[in-house]
Structure 1
Amino acid sequence: MMSAARNFMSDNSRQRDEENLKEDSPTSKRAKLEGRFPLTRWELAAAVSVFLLFSTGLFSIFFTMPAAEYSKIKLPRSVSDLRVLKDHLGSYANDYQARFILGYCSTYIFMQTFMIPGTIFMSLLAGALFGVIRGLLLVVFNATAGASSCYFLSKLIGRPIINWLWPERLRFFQAEIAKRREKLLNYMLFLRITPTLPNTFINLASPIVDIPFHVFFFATLLGLIPASYITVRAGLALGDLKSVKDLYDFKTLAVLFLIGFVSMAPTILKRKRTYE
């Protein structure tokens, strides 16, 4: 009986050793890694290459700009940071307007392409430095260009990332798009105008759910105007702004949703006629 027990323990020990060897094998490690990180080596290499290409272009622009006190210039993360930045950049933006706008646009598009938080502060800065009309044109141009870059980047490597981060939301979005194929531009306008879905998610998910680029582009270009106008206009009065949350109070959100529902009116009317 003791011999049988020893054999049983020996078999269990061998089985555990084999399982440990399997877990330590390169194949097992690769499977675990793929379970945690969604990109393959080639997709990761493509993403890094695109990031380095954009980064090189951005740094090249900044290195050729006139000298400034760079120690005082940083990406703002709060309204107080933004006030300090505006004070330091006011005269510089006036003295080197064309070069400053090039640097501003490059930074905004870079942040929007790679989903770096803080573009709302860049929009406020545009209003503070350039006024409502020029600031609005700059913000809408940069937001559309950055969203378009993000769209094509997602087309290249986005599917595994968005399936990894937001699988449920992606399935919901795909179902909604499938139901609204005939009036897709109206629905995309509604999403852009209202805060129903985050813009980052829309940029990433649109090529995955087969939204044509021309629909994505025009919905972004037109749909971002109302919210951009609110943000740029608020930039004129940075002294009165305590927090970014103050930008979108109940009244502002109600206006945005009203504009959004107006953009959906053709779709709603068509459905009503169909049921009649």
Structure 2
Amino acid sequence: MEEAAKSTEDVMNSSSTGIQQIPPNQGRGGKVSMRMSELPLTMFETIVALCIFGTFAIALLGIYLSMPRIDHNLLKLPRTVSELRILTDYVSKYTDDYKLQVLLGYCTIYIFMQTFMIPGTIVMSLLAGSLFGVAQGMALVVFTASAGASCCYLLSKLIGRPLAMWLWGDKLHYFTREVAKRKDYLFNYMLFLRVTPTLPNTFINVCSPIVNIPYPIFIGATVVGLVPATFVTVRAGVALNTLSSFRELYDFKTVAAFFCIGLVAVVPTILNRSQLHDSEKPHSS
């Protein structure tokens, strides 16, 4: 415990060794208190998180009460493809007559899951494809995923620093250094991260405001970078009957294709650096 506290203190001190430090939380006047206890949030931060959680809960309750009588046993997050098929068949019966409620419920649940880092959004993307088709499903998933990422970003900007340090201390330091090295081409770097599975999306959402990635760059790279994976998932949802396992969604070929797309995003950075390096070379007489 003492070693962890000492390590955290060393990281947050002014650097005299040349190691890139995590930017201070400017919302707190530059004073950072790293709490390495079991719950790394103050009472105020916990209350803020609970208030946001309660807002989502009230919204979900209102949508739930406006729906017709339903089978509660079926309204759960599917863990297998067979359970997802059952849920899709059940929800599709209400899509025509209660489309607004279904859409509001879907959006609220998806954004709620993204905001509070609840796993299972891939199932929601498959469900969108099954219920609304490729075009509408993609638009719905990109919108809700971007909105959820934005909520997570803003919530993390307010109270996320101690939680991020508690969960991903070493990885956060690495991310800070990588962002600092690419500050001139930050959008390309963020786009690469969104397209490829280099870093988890949850980590990116939470840690981006902590390392001072501007929100316009964050949301722009998020919207564009979500498109390839969303297309794969939503299209699989349309053909849900041919899917036997969630693992089939991202096979080796699909992941390799994502990395190829991600490399295209960083090509301008590589070219610009090469040109800058050549221009800095002394011209021969």
Q: TM-score range by the shorter chain?
A: 0.7 to 0.9
For the 8 Å contact 2:63–2:105, the answer to whether it is kept is yes
Are the counterparts in 1 of residues 110 and 145 from structure 2 also a CA contact under 8 Å? Answer: yes
Task: Find the partner of 1:170 among 169, 172, 179.
Answer: 172
Q: 2:193, 2:223 → 1: CA distance? A: 12
Structure 2 counterpart of 1:242: 244
Q: Which residue of 250, 253, 277 corresponds with 1:251?
A: 253
Q: What's the C-alpha RMSD, in Å, of the aligned pairs? A: 1.3
Q: Report percent identity of matched pairs.
A: 56
| Letter of the structure 1 residue corresponding to residue 133 of structure 2 | G
What is the aligned counterpart of 2:96 among 94, 97, 102?
94
1:131 is matched with: 133
Which residue matches 1:29? none
From 43, 50, 53, the equivalent of 1:51 is: 53
1:189–1:260 CA contact under 8 A, matched in 2? yes
Candidates 83, 96, 103, aligned match of 2:105: 103
Aligned to 2:37, the other structure's residue is in SS state helix
The answer for the alignment partner of 2:158 in structure 1 is 156
User: Residue 221 of structure 1 corresponds to which residue in structure 2?
Assistant: 223
For 2:118 and 2:82, how far apart are their aligned partners in 1? 19
Q: How far off is 1:73 after superposition?
A: 1.9
Deviations 1:101-140 (A, max 9, x none): 1111111111111111111000001111111000000000
Per the TM alignment, residue 185 of structure 1 is displaced from its structure 2 partner at its CA by: 0.6
- The separation in 2 between residues aligned to 1:177 and 1:187, in whole angstroms, is 8
AA matched with 1:172: Y
The normalised TM-score by structure 1 is 0.86
Deviation of the 1:60 alpha carbon: 1.5
Greater share of helix: 1
Partner SS for 1:71: helix
Contact residue 36 and residue 166 of structure 2 kept, 8 A: no
CA contact (8 A) 2:66 2:101 kept: no
TM-superposed CA distance for 1:34, in Å, is 5.7
Could you tell me how far apart the structure 1 residues matched to 2:86 and 2:93 are?
Answer: 13
Question: Any gaps of 5 or more consecutive residues in structure 2?
Answer: 1-34, 279-285
Kept in 1, the 8 Å contact 2:133–2:238? The answer is yes
**SS of equivalent to 1:248:** coil
Verify: 1:233 aligned to 2:241, yes or no: no
- 1:207-260 per-position Cα deviation (integer Å, ceiling 9, x unaligned): 000001111111111100000000000001212212111111111011111111
Residue 34 of structure 1 contacts residue 40 of structure 1 at CA under 8 Å; is this kept in 2? no
> Are the counterparts in 2 of residues 159 and 208 from structure 1 also a CA contact under 8 Å?
yes
- What is the rounded CA distance, in whole Å, between the counterparts of 1:99 and 1:50 in structure 2? 21
SS at match of 1:95: coil
CA distance in 2, matches of 1:129, 1:162: 35
Q: Of the candidates 133, 142, 145, which is equivalent to residue 143 of structure 1?
A: 145
Matched with 1:200 is 202
> How many residues align structurally?
244
Q: CA offset at residue 35 of structure 1? A: 2.3
TM-score norm. by structure 2 comes to 0.83
Task: Tell me how far apart the structure 1 counterparts of residues 105 and 47 of structure 2 sit (CA, whole Å).
Answer: 27
Matched residues in 1 for 2:64 and 2:156: separation?
27
Q: Distance in 1 between matches of 2:91 and 2:56?
A: 24
Query: 1:16 aligns to what?
Result: none
Higher Rg of the two aligned structures: 1
List per-residue Cα deviations over 1:144-195 (Å, max 9, x = no partner).
0000000011011100001001001000000000011111111100000111
Unmatched runs of 5 consecutive residues or more in structure 1: 1-32
Give 1:36's aligned residue: 38
Q: Deviations over 1:71-107 (max 9, x none)?
A: 3221212212101101111121122222211111111
Identify the match of residue 188 of structure 1 among 187, 190, 208: 190
- The one-letter amino acid paired with 2:60 is L
Partners of 2:36 and 2:203 lie apart in 1 by 22
Cα separation, 1, equivalents of 2:74 and 2:138: 26
Tell me the secondary structure at the aligned position of residue 96 of structure 2: helix
Q: What residue identity is the alignment partner of 1:191?
A: L
